Structure formats: C-alpha cells, structure tokens
C-alpha cells in the first residue's frame, strides 16, 4: 500500500479507516519536519554515553541554571487530570483496555511502548482499539463473558514508543518512520478533536527522554500538530516518565521546555535502574546486587524520587509514583497477603513523601492504592500545595549506587536469566506485558536482567558463595533454565520461541559492549 510516497510495507487487515491518505499524509508531515532532529538527538545520545564511559561526571547543566532558579510554573491540569491518585497501565489489547478503563483507577495509560510487543498486527489493532475507546464503542466478547465500558471510566493517556524505536512497516521515501511520530500522529489525527469536543483532550505519557533537547523536540511536534489540525495550542498535555538517569538531572528543564503542554512527571522505577546500569555499567562503583535488592529506598532511588516530588510541586506539576507490578493470584492467599502489604507499604511511603498518585499493573491492586492515597488526600484531588523545601538533593546523591548489605546470589543470577528469556519469548510471540512469577513484567524487566548479567561478567563480580560470574557460568545456568522451561511448557515449548529468546538474551548479555536497547535487535525478529 502506497499513499503520497508513504509505503505501508505489510498487510494491515481491515485498516482502511485507520491508515487513510490524510492520516498518512499527516504522519509524513511530522516525519519531514522532525526526523532530521530525531536522528541528531539519537546521535547525541551515543556521543554522551561515550563521554560518560570515559569518566565525564553527571551534573546539573550550568547553562540552564537560570531555568532552575526561575519562578515559573506549568499550567493547571485539565479537569479530568486534576485527580490522579491511582493510575493503571497496560498494553493496547482490547480486553485489557476495557478492564483498565473499568478498574476504578483515575487514569489509564494505554501503552504502545514497553508493555506492547510492536508487531504490525499489535500496532494497527492497538490504534483501532484506542479509536473505539474514544468513541465509547469498544467491546470484547468471549463464550463466557461480554466486556464493555462502564458508565464511569478512567481518563486515557497514550504512551507512544520512545524516540529510539522505528516503525519498520511504514516507509517514507524508503526510510522507516519514527515509532514515536507514527503513534503520536495517528492518535491525534483521529482522536484529538473528538476528545476536545467532550471536554477532555489528547493526553500523553512520554517515555525514555534523556534531555531537555528531546523534550523541546516533543514540544515542537505538539505545536506543529495542533496548528495543522486547527486545534488550540496547549490542547495536548504531556506527562513525562523520568526513567533515565540523565533526565533526573534535567527535570526542571524538561517541564520548562514542554511549556504549556506540561502537566506531570512520573518516577519510572524499572527503566530508571536500567538507565543507571547503561550509563555507569562500566564503572565498578555502580555494580548493583540482585534486582530484588535495588528497592525504592536505596540511596540513588530515594534521592531521585524526593527530587522529583520537590521539582513537580514547585512548578505546579503532578508527581506520580512508580509501578506496583504484583499480580494477585487466586491459588495462594498467603502470597497475596504478603505482597499486598508490601504494595501498601510502598504506596504509603510515596503518599507521605508528597506524590499525588501512583501506578498499578493490575485492577485488583486499585482498591489498596486508592485506600492509601484517600487516607492522605481525603477530598483533595492532589497535594500540589505540599512543597518539599526540606529536600536537598546533590549531584553525588543521584549517583550514589551503594546498596547497603547488597549481594549477588545464584538465585538472583538464575532469576535474571529465566525472567529475561521468558519475557523476550513473550515479546517475540506478540505479548509485551507478561505475567512471570506473579509479577507483570514489561521490556524494562528484560533490560535490567540482561544488563545486570553483562555488568557482573564485565566486572568479574562474585556470587555470595564466592564463585565468579563468568560467561561459562551464565551459559550453564541458561541450559538448566531451558530444561526447566521445557518441562513447564511441554508441547508448547517450540512455538513459545524460548530457544530463540535464549539466543537473543545471550547475545546481549554476553556482548563485548552493553547494547543500547534489547528491543532494537529483537525488532528484527518480530513480524
């Protein structure tokens, strides 16, 4: 299919109402205006990582000191984003979207990024599902049950793919379009005016920003899109996931660059750990213990979340807490009890720190988190008036990677290998949100898993029993893991693509240099 030099290089089923000539022309306009800048910023990322590997320190930028010192604020949130005490996230799968809308959460983030495996089928159907949700017609039927929207539903935010990801199935002048621009462009073209007509608007969660320059690019995309569509500037509102270590040093600047479009920052905890490993994985002082020991209370995580709340409230923006990924199970009430109490403690800490809301991955966690934030907020929609003037976070605190009492264990290594392989296999077979060991895992999980294995090998780290982590040990545990999984999956083992996932995991975990994103080589294997 070719429209105005935009080639859709794959079958799109019955997508004629989605991939119209005008819609693809709008995407082409965004591509022509902003693709060169996107490529320049991606190149700047690579150069900065090289400087960090060579010992360049991370600091608050001197050239933006006036922005940090200035007395400015972002615009007030729209009415349907004023109360964000519980947010639920998930892929753009039809059934899961309906359950998320109906969960009782205030906000639902429909995720085209880490929780969606970006097969062409998933992307096309996901955008159609979003259109149906905006129009209020989304439904899903099984032989046992019919799923449809309740009378009161969550406000939807869209998370487009990050700047680094292409959409290989849509070519403009022979080059793949940016996944970010494609997801953003289709959504606003088809839905922005409909949302505005009903008193809402096109709202976004922006992933994996590394600098104010990347936020500035998004702002320019927003302005161009609003002008092209004839909707008022400021109609688009953006929340930003602070899920890279680099962005933590530019939180003020990111809000400032988004200007009239800014509304919130979110503490994206799993990707943040991955980013720290990616930025400082070469440095011995940044070697981390088992992932389960890198909690929100370790020094560098605590510093970043406190700075996030202080920054947001000083600027009039919402501060949204991190993910509670636990999936309740009907099989083991005791597991549920312990896990939900851990979730309650985590969310109580966030609410007491000043966060205005927090994330969950499963509808059954909504009541627990709602209860926690109700206890702090009461009838108030948020706690933006709570200024954290008591917080002072230094540059060194943001990179204090010490984990008191932290250890690297065989179980932690095995878990990284097993979860990494299982998640990659899930992703390759089209499922970007995978339930593994009672946790809802997304791409950030596999990124941490393979990065930790790489780091431990790179530094010759030792397990708590004295054995050194080597490539041979990883391969041995990988073989054992695959045998265990063969027993679990039985006849479905081959179709689950576990051997292929293990090959991919090994390729990035044992590589000479840490690969930037696992999803880039994995994308070559996806339909």
> What pLDDT shows up at residue 336?
87
pLDDT < 70 stretches in the chain: 1-4, 12, 527
Q: Look at residues 333, 363, 396 and tell me which one is the last residue of a structural domain.
A: 396
424 located within any domain: yes
Reduced to 3 states, what is the DSSP secondary structure of residue 209?
A: coil
Active site residue 233: no
Structural domains of the chain, count:
2
Q: pTM for this structure?
A: 0.95
Q: Which domain holds residue 72?
A: 2-396
User: Of 441, 400, 396, 394, which Cα lies nearest the Cα of 419?
Assistant: 441
Active-site residue, from 159, 216, 291, 431: 159
Angle between helices 212-229 and 179-197 (to 10 degrees): 50
Residues 100 and 135 in one domain: yes
> What pLDDT shows up at residue 10?
74
343 located within any domain: yes
Q: Look at residues 396, 426, 448 and tell me which one is the last residue of a structural domain.
A: 396
DSSP state, residue 77? P
Residue pLDDT, tens place only, 129-162: 999 999 999 999 998 899 999 999 999 999 999 9
> What pLDDT shows up at residue 435?
85
Residue 422 is part of a domain; what is its CATH number? 1.20.1220.12
Residue pLDDT, tens place only, 380-395: 999 999 999 999 999 9
> What pLDDT shows up at residue 186?
98
Residues 131 and 212 in one domain: yes
User: Of 28, 38, 261, 43, which Cα lies nearest the Cα of 163?
Assistant: 38
> What pLDDT shows up at residue 442?
85
Burial 449-481 (b: 16+ CB within 10 A, else e): bbbbbbbbbbbebebeeeeebeeebbeebbeeb
Active site residue 386: no
Residues 449 and 347 in one domain: no
Residues 419 and 465 in one domain: yes
Residue 317 is part of a domain; what is its CATH number? 3.20.20.360
Residues 252 and 347 in one domain: yes
> What pLDDT shows up at residue 329?
78
% residues pLDDT > 90 (the chain): 88
Check: CB of residue 109 under 8 Å from CB of residue 169: no
Q: Look at residues 338, 368, 396 and tell me which one is the last residue of a structural domain.
A: 396
In whole angstroms, what is the distance from residue 258 CA to residue 218 CA?
Answer: 7
Residues 306 and 446 in one domain: no
> What pLDDT shows up at residue 333?
84
Residues 295 and 392 in one domain: yes
Residue pLDDT, tens place only, 79-112: 999 999 999 999 999 999 999 999 999 999 999 9
Direct distance between the N- and C-terminal alpha carbons of the chain, in angstroms, rounded to an integer: 17
Mean pLDDT taken over the chain:
95
404 located within any domain: no
> What pLDDT shows up at residue 487?
95
> What pLDDT shows up at residue 527?
64
402 located within any domain: no
Residue pLDDT, tens place only, 345-382: 999 999 999 999 999 999 999 999 999 999 999 999 99
């Amino acid at each position: 299919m070719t429209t105005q030099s935009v080639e859709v290089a794959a079958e799109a089923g019955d997508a004629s109402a989605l991939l119209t000539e005008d819609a693809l022309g709008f995407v082409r306009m965004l591509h022509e205006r902003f693709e060169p800048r996107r490529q320049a910023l991606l190149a700047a990322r690579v150069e900065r990582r090289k400087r960090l590997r060579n010992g360049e320190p991370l600091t608050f930028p001197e050239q933006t000191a006036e922005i940090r010192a200035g007395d400015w604020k972002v615009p007030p949130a729209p009415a349907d984003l004023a109360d964000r005490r519980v947010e639920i996230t998930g892929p753009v799968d039809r059934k899961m979207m309906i359950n998320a809308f109906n969960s009782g959460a205030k906000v639902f983030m429909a995720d085209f990024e880490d929780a969606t495996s970006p097969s062409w089928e998933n992307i096309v159907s996901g955008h159609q599902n979003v259109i149906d949700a905006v129009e209020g017609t989304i439904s899903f039927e099984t032989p046992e049950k019919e799923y449809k929207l309740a009378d009161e539903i969550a406000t939807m935010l869209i998370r487009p793919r990050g700047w680094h990801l292409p959409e290989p199935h849509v070519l403009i002048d022979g080059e793949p379009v940016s996944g970010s621009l494609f997801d953003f462009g289709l959504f606003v073209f088809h839905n922005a005016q409909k949302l505005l007509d009903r008193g809402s608007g096109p709202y976004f969660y922006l992933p994996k920003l590394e600098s104010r320059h990347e936020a500035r690019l998004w702002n320019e995309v927003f302005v161009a899109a609003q002008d092209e569509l004839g909707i008022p500037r400021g109609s688009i509102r953006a929340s930003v996931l602070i899920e890279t270590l680099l962005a933590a040093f530019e939180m003020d600047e990111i809000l400032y660059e988004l200007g009239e479009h800014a509304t919130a920052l979110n503490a994206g905890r799993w990707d943040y750990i991955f980013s720290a490993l990616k930025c400082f994985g070469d440095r011995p002082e940044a070697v981390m213990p088992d992932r389960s020991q890198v909690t929100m209370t370790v020094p560098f995580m605590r510093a970043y979340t406190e700075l996030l709340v202080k920054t947001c409230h000083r600027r009039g923006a919402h501060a949204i807490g991190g993910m509670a990924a636990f999936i309740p199970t009907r099989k083991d009430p005791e597991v549920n009890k312990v896990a939900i109490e851990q979730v309650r403690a985590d969310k109580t800490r966030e609410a007491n720190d000043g966060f205005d809301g927090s994330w969950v991955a499963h509808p059954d966690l909504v009541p627990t988190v709602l209860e926690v934030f109700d206890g702090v907020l009461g009838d108030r929609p948020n706690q933006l008036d709570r200024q954290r003037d008591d917080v002072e976070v230094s540059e060194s605190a943001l990179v204090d990677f010490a984990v008191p009492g932290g250890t690297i264990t065989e179980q932690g290594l095995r878990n990284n290998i097993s979860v990494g392989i299982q998640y990659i296999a899930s992703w390759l077979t089209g499922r970007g949100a995978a339930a593994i060991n009672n946790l809802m895992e997304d791409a950030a999980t596999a990124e941490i898993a393979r990065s930790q294995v790489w780091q431990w090998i790179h530094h010759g780290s030792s397990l708590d029993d004295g054995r050194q982590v080597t490539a041979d040990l990883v391969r041995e545990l990988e073989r054992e893991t695959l045998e265990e999984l063969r027993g679990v999956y039985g006849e479905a083992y081959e179709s689950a693509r576990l051997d292929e996932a293990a090959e991919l995991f090994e390729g990035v975990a044992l590589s000479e240099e840490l690969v930037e994103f696992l999803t880039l080589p994995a994308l070559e294997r996806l339909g």
